[in-house]
Chains A and B, each alone.
Chain A
Amino acid sequence: MDWGTLQDVLGGVNKHSTSIGKIWLTVLFIFRIMILVVAAERVWGDEQDDFVCNTLQPGCRNVCYDHFFPISHIRLWALQLIFVSTPALLVAMHVAYTKHEKKRRIRHGEKIDIEELKNVRFHIRGPLWWTYTSSIFCRLVFEAIFMYVFYYMYDGYQMPRLVKCNAWPCPNTVDCFVSRPTEKTTFTIFMLAVSGICMMLNLAELCYLVLKVCMKEPRKTT
């Protein structure tokens, strides 16, 4: 059980997505999940071990680390990816419900090809349009919330080399040094940029879906 399960779930949703949705999914998997697993986790792997404070007072390092990093970047990114991927489940559930309804109609005698039902691609219209649009909106909201949380918790997106700590039991103000600050800043900015790209893709998809409906309405009325 790992990110592969998420890949299977979201891969199923991919069939019923728009082209922009498919691009979003690719960006999510290659530039966020894969980078997180393959690279970022290693950069943050030794973060507490290599967090060094200029004191021999036992407990000072623990307390200072906890004060400056209430929740690690890597965990926040993992949570962000999980929350941002979850709205796609709404679409998967809606599609599963529609298929279930069609199967029920088969049992009541209506003639529908079962093989066709397995491979059918549902077009995004009617109730599915509302589910899909809501899922994109939720994604946007979650992305924005997490970006704000990062900014608020770490006073910006830069990782400092040195933090000054005077939390008890540190006897005075103590210098503490963060491990690999430049590498961490680089990855933070990278993940931020990719988040921004994903938000723009979501916005573009939202506009496309709304325009599609608006273009259809005048044709219906004329």
Chain B
Amino acid sequence: MSWGFLRDLLSGVNKYSTGIGRIWVAIVFMFRLLVYVAAAENIWKYEHDEFECNIKQPGCENVCFDHFFPVSHIRLWALQLIIVSTPSLLVVFHVAYRENRQKHNQKPCRNPGKIDGGLLCTYLISLILKTGFEIVFLVLFYKLYNGFKIPRLVKCDIRPCPNTVDCYISKPTEKMIFLYFLVATSCLCIILNLSELSYLIFKHTTKCYLKKYMKKQQ
């Protein structure tokens, strides 16, 4: 079980997505998942070992690291990727349900992946959830770490550290660059989700309006 599972899941979702949805999947693959696996993971690999405090007091480094990094950036990033991709499962389940229903009722082949009726609602809900989760994680990152900056030095005075102690974080600039990259791609995904939402609502509202208009004409 690894990121390949998420990749297969998203490939499955791709089939039932709109054009904007496919761009979203491509961005999640290339700029979030691949960057995470190929580059970002290694930066945070030895973050605890390389976290150094100007003191020999045993336990001080551990306590300070835990205080300043309750949940590591890289773990939050992984959680974000998983949780943000999961609402797409709703669409996959709904399409599978439709296909199952068609088999049982033996109705003539109507495309089960066409985004209309109930599937449209499911799709819109999945878009709203995806956007919501993205925003929640961005706010979480911001609140947990007081912004998106990573300082070189943090001052720690928690027991058993005897006084205020200087602690140095490893590779703060590199981590900050990748954090900004994460924020930028998150924001891009939010914009894509909102565009897709607007496009679908506009398209179906226009369709309904045109249908009513045609009926009135008749």
B152 interfacial by beta-carbon distance below 8 Å: yes
Output the least CB separation between B146 and chain A (Å).
Answer: 19
Given the contacts A3-B38, A79-B39, A89-B26, A66 and B3 also touching, CB distance less than 8 Å: no
Q: How many residues of A contact B (CB 8 A)?
A: 32
Q: Could you tell me if B50 and A48 are in contact, using CB atoms closer than 8 angstroms?
A: yes
**Chain B residues numbered 46-78 whose CB sits less than 8 Å from any CB in chain A:** 46, 50, 52-55
Output the least CB separation between A4 and chain B (Å).
Answer: 9
**Chain B residues numbered 14-46 whose CB sits less than 8 Å from any CB in chain A:** 19, 22-23, 26, 29-31, 33-35, 37-39, 42-43, 46
Given the contacts A59-B54, A63-B152, A71-B177, A1 and B37 also touching, CB distance less than 8 Å: yes
Q: Could you tell me if A6 and B34 are in contact, using CB atoms closer than 8 angstroms?
A: yes
Chain B residue at minimal CB-CB distance from A168 = B153
Q: Could you tell me if A62 and B168 are in contact, using CB atoms closer than 8 angstroms?
A: yes
- Against B, the Cβ 8 Å flags (1 = close, 0 = not) of A71-106 are 110110011001001100100010011000000000
Q: Could you tell me if A58 and B52 are in contact, using CB atoms closer than 8 angstroms?
A: yes
Q: Could you tell me if B177 and A70 are in contact, using CB atoms closer than 8 angstroms?
A: yes
Chain B residue at minimal CB-CB distance from A1 = B3
Q: Could you tell me if A62 and B174 are in contact, using CB atoms closer than 8 angstroms?
A: no
Output the least CB separation between B69 and chain A (Å).
Answer: 15
Q: Could you tell me if A62 and B52 are in contact, using CB atoms closer than 8 angstroms?
A: yes
A160 interfacial by beta-carbon distance below 8 Å: no
Most chain B CB neighbours (cut-off 10 Å) among A1, A2, A57, A79: A1
Output the least CB separation between A145 and chain B (Å).
Answer: 15
- Against B, the Cβ 8 Å flags (1 = close, 0 = not) of A100-134 are 00000000000000000000000000000000000
Q: How many residues of B contact A (CB 8 A)?
A: 39
Q: A72 to B178, alpha carbons, bound, how many Å?
A: 12
Q: Could you tell me if A66 and B33 are in contact, using CB atoms closer than 8 angstroms?
A: no
B2 interfacial by beta-carbon distance below 8 Å: yes
Q: Could you tell me if A48 and B170 are in contact, using CB atoms closer than 8 angstroms?
A: yes
Q: Could you tell me if A93 and B22 are in contact, using CB atoms closer than 8 angstroms?
A: yes
B172 interfacial by beta-carbon distance below 8 Å: yes
A5 interfacial by beta-carbon distance below 8 Å: yes
B171 interfacial by beta-carbon distance below 8 Å: yes
B-side contacts of A9, CB under 8 Å: 29
Known contacts A2-B34, A66-B174; 19 further A-B pairs (Cβ under 8 A): A1-B7, A3-B38, A5-B34, A48-B171, A57-B54, A58-B53, A59-B52, A59-B153, A62-B50, A62-B168, A70-B174, A71-B177, A72-B174, A75-B178, A78-B38, A82-B31, A82-B38, A86-B31, A89-B30
Nearest 7 Cβ contacts at the A-B interface: A1-B3, A59-B168, A70-B173, A62-B168, A78-B39, A58-B54, A78-B38
